[in-house]
Amino acid sequence: MNDVPSPQASAPIPSRGDIFGFFLMVVGMFMAILDIQIVASSLPQIQAGISASIDQVTWVQTAYLVAEVVMIPLSGWLAKVMSTRWLFVMSSGGFTVMSVACAFAWDTQSMIVFRAAQGFIGGAMIPTVFAANFKLLPPSMRMMGTVIIGLTATVAPAAGPTLGGYITEHFSWHWLFLINIVPGLIVTALVPLFVDIDRPDWGLFRKIDLLGIVLIAGFLGSLEIVLDEGPREDWFQSHVILGFAVLSVVSAVLLIWRELVIEHPVLELHAFLNRNFTMGCILTFVIGTCLYGQSYILPQFLSRVRGFSSLQVGEVMAVTGVAMFLAAPIAGQLGQRFDARKILFVGFILVTLGLWLNTKMTTEVGFDQLIWPQIARGTGLVLCMVTITAAALGTLPPDLVGGGSGLFNVFRNMGGALGLALINTQWDGRYDRHYWWLAESIGTTDQIATDQITQMTRQMATHPEINGDPMLAAVRQLGGEIAQQASIMAWNDVFFMMAVAFVCATPLILLLAKPEHPDVAAH
């Protein structure tokens, strides 16, 4: 592997129009990432609107994730064929059209098809923006671009569930998709006027690697289905999940062989010969587990345990977004002055601290107790994302940046998918364990428990609305309290496990190559 970063060719000084075009592309990227999680908190309303079953409605989110993760690695090759500009325009325009289609879906099948099309077509916007940062901007401005991209990539998934819940509560679930129309049309109309990075090479279509594309879909699509549906289907106890797992492994092996021997590969696997890129992908995989995991765990805890409304959850989660926004420019300044490994170390420590501070939650936890953990996590995630993006993509040669950005984003998304799958699986297991431990500890031989049940029985007997045996009602109430405590303990355990995972991953930072200059992004 290459231990010394490879300098990229310097881009010409961009005009104001180029910079404006770059910002327009970032807006499109924000929409694409936001839509990954925006439906997460509104699935019950969508389920009622399209008359879907519980199992069917989960595919509204899964279909988008599967299709998007297939498109992301293809974007590097498509950018060579269509040019960066026209690939992005096609992606943003198609994403907008499919957003309208999702809003007017008439049944479960149509919604799943439209969501899959929305994810597949819109998925190209994400890696295209990452590549544009290094193709369009000169070395002196790349850190600024990286800060903007890093902020977008961290804030969007964190804001998705909260924003989705707020929109559904105050309007309707249709507006989860209709809000994309205005920004989508603006981006699609203006990007062709201001962005002109490279030229298309339509001749590459004659050399298209169809088998490689099929294998990408088989590998990543099947893996996403396994990770997303596995916890609900009891993993490999389901023949469907087992079948997709086998398909994913076989497709992965064949894909690697295919892309290494073919003359015009779809994936730029040679980018992994760059040491910083390889380690950057591994680290962004770890970062993705927390980025998507923390934006899932905390809203679940607040709504299910504390009984917070969507608006109250949004107010709490907004702290993370504010911390990210304020920390982003600081991350850019630090990246220009200090060794990337030192900044990443600080970022990992802050994320770990933020996770550990949430391991002692109770039924009384509220906004005040959650401020500092979110500030620590938000600041740490931005430091990590900005720095690792510059370190991983900033050292690739220009001809590998497009394909490399797609692979880099796949690792982050798959880290998030694996993180969510493990979170759900671990929560279920820890909940069962805590529930039975608490239930067994409260037996008829436990004098304290017996006294508590006796007291609750007397209270129930004084309530005229209680029908039947007061003691049975008291036992049911106690069972509910046990379930709530088991739930809280399970959430605390999950936060602790995530903190341990970050501690274990921290030494990997040392495997990054030392940059020749502090300004990593300028190389």
| 486/453 Cα distance (integer angstroms) | 19
Is residue 67 over pLDDT 90?
no
> Which of 331-346 are b and which e, b meaning 16 or more Cβ less than 10 Å from the residue's Cβ?
bbebbbebbbbebbbb
Structure-model confidence comparison of residues 158 and 510, the more confident one? 510
pLDDT digits (tens, 9 = 90+) for 223-234: 878 877 777 777
Is residue 127 over pLDDT 50?
yes
Which option is the CATH number for 16-209+264-432+487-522: 3.30.230.10, 1.20.1250.20, 2.70.160.11, 3.40.50.2300? 1.20.1250.20
Contact present, 58 and 109 (Cβ < 8 Å): no
Block residue for tokens 């499919």: 98
pLDDT digits (tens, 9 = 90+) for 339-358: 888 999 999 999 999 999 98
| 197/182 Cα distance (integer angstroms) | 25
**Band of residue 523 on the pLDDT scale cut at 50, 70, 90:** very low
Domain spans, the chain: 16-209+264-432+487-522, 211-263, 433-486
| 20/67 Cα distance (integer angstroms) | 29
